[in-house]
């Protein structure tokens, strides 16, 4: 699939989520959302990112924006992750990586000379019409949640 761009329709997904609930973009029809992809529960960068989004949850909620985090981890791992760090986020289990592939964030990575496939930390701001309003790729965690909130205020 070609890379998504601002103005494109956000690919829908319907995944098992934390707390035994389904996480589906189409269920939010008419409401904006932040869809962020992260590599793995309970790793340093992913934990910092989730904590940062949780800290701003009330601000996003005040704008009517739902935050959805997606990774290849299982819903059971998401439950442990949210409990351990007291996260207030909806997390989806993209165990087959089909959603990451649809968003173009399932990419070849290279660590210590070893190549493997994994999630590129990325965030998509989706407007109330289901269109992509903003994209952040190769996200660096410090200050990222705040930058997304600032962009969300402009919707």
Count CA atoms within 13 Å of residue 63 on its CB side.
Answer: 22
User: How far is the C-alpha of 139 from the C-alpha of 22, rounded, in Å?
Assistant: 26
What is the DSSP code (8-state) at residue 154? T
Count CA atoms within 13 Å of residue 137 on its CB side.
Answer: 10
Give the residue numbers annotated as catalytic, written as ranges.
46
DSSP 50-113: HHHHHHTHHHHHHTT-EEEEEESS-HHHHHHHHHHHT---EEEE-TT-HHHHHTT-EEEEEETT
State which H helix or E strand residue 147 sits in: helix 144-153
């Amino acid at each position: 699939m070609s890379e998504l761009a601002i103005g494109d329709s956000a690919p829908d997904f319907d995944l098992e989520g934390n707390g035994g609930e389904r996480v589906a973009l189409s269920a939010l029809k008419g409401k904006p959302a932040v869809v962020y992809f992260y590599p793995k529960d309970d790793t340093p960068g992913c934990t910092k990112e989730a904590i940062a989004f949780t800290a701003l949850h009330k601000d996003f909620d005040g704008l009517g924006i739902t935050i959805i985090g997606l990774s290849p981890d299982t819903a059971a791992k998401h439950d442990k992750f949210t409990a351990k760090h007291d996260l207030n986020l909806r997390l989806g289990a993209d165990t087959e990586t089909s959603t990451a592939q649809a968003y173009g964030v399932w990419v070849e990575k290279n660590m210590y000379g070893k190549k493997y496939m994994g999630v590129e930390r990325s965030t998509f701001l989706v407007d109330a019409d289901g269109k992509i309003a903003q994209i952040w790729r190769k996200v660096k965690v410090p200050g990222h949640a705040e930058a997304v909130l600032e962009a969300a205020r402009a919707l």
